[in-house]
Structure 1
Amino acid sequence: MLAAPCMAQRHEKPSDASNGIFPKGQPGPADNFTGKAWNYGLVPADSTLTTLVGNVYFEPGARSHWHTHPAGQILVITDGSGYHQIKGQPRQTVKKGDVVTCPPNVMHWHGAGPDTGMQQLYIVPNTEKGIVEWMQAVTDEEYTNPK
């Protein structure tokens, strides 16, 4: 008998970043986001762990405003794709599996790409130093310009 190798075929649909492992959460306030973003807290800030952890889902085109974190921030992209930019540096494209570090007190923004949503875990360490300082909205020109 001859045995022919069997190849499994997978028909994967493109990821829908809105179907993350966490609930969608609460809508992000328009004072801090352009477009629709949803926040779901996972670990509240406290004096023992001094770390804040949560999940944000950005609908396509949604993004945070410029902001800083006194002790920095770590982002883990868990689904979809989008952008991250540190003020004065080129915009980075980020996708599922990427990890981004935002240095302390450095202005930056992050959000989904124009056609794809994005899910991200955010980790804010050393919350005793403060959590976030929100600034102005990211303009459409800043959002679409990769430089």
Structure 2
Amino acid sequence: MKSSQLKTKEDYHGNFNSEIFEKWFKVLCGTLKESYGSYIIHLDGAKYHKRVLNPVPNGKWLKAQIQAWLTYETLVLYVIDLVYFSSRRIGFNAAMYKVALLLLAKSAKEPVQYATVAIARVFGHHVLFTPPIILSSNLLRLYGS
């Protein structure tokens, strides 16, 4: 059998993504809440753990997309069947260059909101992420503490 035939849509080693993880995570959060109450949940920095709900424009965005980001009044994002609301209205001149618009966007940047944190919050849980690099005990001994 080919390895591609063994991989199902929800196979962890196959094609795990934020959509599949968030569905599973929502069920987990609900079960934890019903059975044990509120919890602190530790997650690593895997890409599917940290889907950003409120991305900030960058150089890859089109000028029209940046302008839309600066002017939206109410943004409704659906996380599985949970809803995240946000609003902003930043004035700009339509003749401004893309670089100037990016500077405006940078100045209006909101704290990053992750989908997993939003899901956990609905169920009364708190999410903590591990640092990007965790030093091994050997390195700590080498450099001292």
The structure number with the bigger radius of gyration is 2
**Bigger relative contact order (CA 8 A; separation at least 6):** 2
Bigger proportion of residues as helix: 2
